[in-house]
A and B are shown apart, each in its own frame.
Chain A
Amino acid sequence: MTAYKFLRSGAVGPFSGFRWPRPRGSAAGPWVEAVGAPVRCRRGVHACHVDHLPWWLADELWELELAGEVVAYPHKLAAPRGRLVRRIDGWTTAARREYVHACAWRSRDRAVEAADAAAAERLAGCATLEALEEAARELAGTVPQGRIALTMAADGAQAAIAELPAMGAYVAARAARHAGGEAAMDAERRWQAAWLVQRLGLSAG
């Protein structure tokens, strides 16, 4: 089956440190096989369905082919065998920036809904992330209504300015949960996955 995997620069596993053999030309890379059946987080080839991607953002995104019995966990897949098929070229610095900026503005929108009218108007008028962070941080310290949402908006802006997409996505998900509970957080994560699918042309499978 087709799946995806985020790796560190140089096709290196973020936790295992395993250096994945890369495809050469148009051919897929060689198969990588685990010894024994997959064990969550410990053994096997771990990869993502598109819905899992927002939890594992890293430098490089690759399309994988998985073989053998694929086990699905809440935020990941595990299989006995896998190989890299192609790097998703669209996951560039610019795309990562665009993604985390989108997350930050969505966190801002949650704060606009939670804050009082004056604070909401000020936040809504922010044209840059720097202005948003400053305003949200200041309002969080002075305006009681929506204090947590305002802090999250500031944190989201800070993550975007620092270009930390995983952090920005996390903050947006938490801001959604603060506003609307688990269902809202799940919906936010689905939105984040859909952004990646649409922007990068991934197979939603």
Chain B
Amino acid sequence: MDEITCKQLVELVTPYLEDALDEPTLDLLEEHLVMCDWCVDYLEQIRATIGALRTMPAEPVPARLREALAGVLREAG
């Protein structure tokens, strides 16, 4: 891979924001951001969304959902 497309960047935004990309991929992603204002806007929107969600109060998990999730996790081992 010698470049990252807009479509690929969308897939890589989460690991980018979590600082989980390997250096060569990070390099290519940053090169893309230099020249693509659309992806810069997209990244800023994701950052803003994450920031907004952090300000929301935590909601209690409904009992049925908690049980269903626990069941899935048990089955997954």
Contacts and interface: CB of A to CB of B under 8 A. Distances in A.
Nearest to B24: A40
A15 B34 CA distance: 9
Nearest to A55: B31
Nearest to A182: B2
Interface residues of B, number: 11
Contacts of B31: 55-56, 75
B34 to A, nearest CB: 5
Contacts of B33: 14-15
Nearest to B37: A164
A170 interface: yes
Contact of A42 (B23, B34, B35, B37): B23
B30 interface: yes
Contact of A170 (B19, B23, B26, B35): B35
B34 A14 contact: yes
Contacts, number: 36
A203 B77 CA distance: 62
B23 A164 contact: no
Contact of A56 (B26, B34, B37): B34
B36 interface: yes
A42 B19 CA distance: 9
Contacts of B37: 164, 167
A184 B34 CA distance: 22
A167 B35 contact: yes
Main secondary structure of the interface of B (DSSP, over half): helix
A41 B34 contact: no
B27 interface: yes
B27 A73 contact: yes
A122 B56 CA distance: 58
Contact of B30 (A41, A74, A164, A169): A41
A115 interface: no
A40 B30 CA distance: 12
A166 B34 CA distance: 7
Interface string A166-177: 110110000000
A39 interface: yes
A41 B35 contact: no
Interface string B35-68: 1110000000000000000000000000000000
A128 B19 CA distance: 44
B23 A169 contact: no
A119 interface: no
A58 B34 contact: yes
Interface string A24-49: 00000000000000011110000000
Contacts of A58: 34
